[in-house]
Each structure stands twice: as structure tokens, then as C-alpha cells.
Amino acid sequence: MALELRPNCECCDQDLPPAAPGAHICSFECTFCLACSTRLAFVCPNCGGELVRRPIRPAAKLSRHPPAAVRVRRDQPCFPGGAP
């Protein structure tokens, strides 16, 4: 199984294409943009795990191993009481 490259940030829904340099993930592949990861202090709000930079899959591999199509959003706000 290849890493699941999710297409968006779970917090702010920003697009995170496979080549997005700022995408961050936890060990469960919860996916966040750099701005949200920074605000989260690089701790996943879903599982409490570490958020690390998502490696960029080589473009030549994307046809056989395409990114995930399903957008995932958290049902709870990531930053309670705070503006995005």
C-alpha cells in the first residue's frame, strides 16, 4: 500500500496536490496544510500524533499510484474560538 495522498487540508480545506511542498501528515495520514500544521504545533488534532512533512511522490509514479480523490474534513473545528 502506498501512502494515501489526500487532496486537501482537513482543517481549512485548502487544496494539497501531490507536489504541495507544505503538506503535513500524521502516521494515520491525516493531512494538513503548513499554516494549519504550524497553528497545531505539529500535533495531529485527530490522534495526538506527530505531524511531519509529507514526502512528494515523484510525478512519474502518479499515474500508477494516483493521489486519493476523497476530500476529508474534520467535523470539529481545528481551532475552537479562533479565526482560521
Q: Per rule CB under 5 A, is residue 46 in the interface with Zn ion? A: yes
For 31, which DSSP code? E
Q: Per rule CB under 5 A, is residue 33 in the interface with Zn ion? A: yes
The whole-angstrom separation of Cα 53 and Cα 23 is 6
Identify the H or E element spanning 52.
strand 52-53
Q: Per rule CB under 5 A, is residue 47 in the interface with Zn ion? A: yes
Among 11, 52, 48, smallest CA distance to 32 is for 11
Retrieve residue 57's grid coordinates. 511522490
Q: Per rule CB under 5 A, is residue 34 in the interface with Zn ion? A: no
Q: Per rule CB under 5 A, is residue 30 in the interface with Zn ion? A: yes
Q: Per rule CB under 5 A, is residue 25 in the interface with Zn ion? A: no
| Coil/strand/helix, residue 8 | strand
Stretch that binds Zn ion, among 5-13, 16-24, 52-60, 61-69 (CB under 5 A): 5-13
Residue among 59 and 80 whose Cβ is closer to Zn ion? 80
Minimum distance between the CB of residue 64 and Zn ion, rounded to whole angstroms? 27
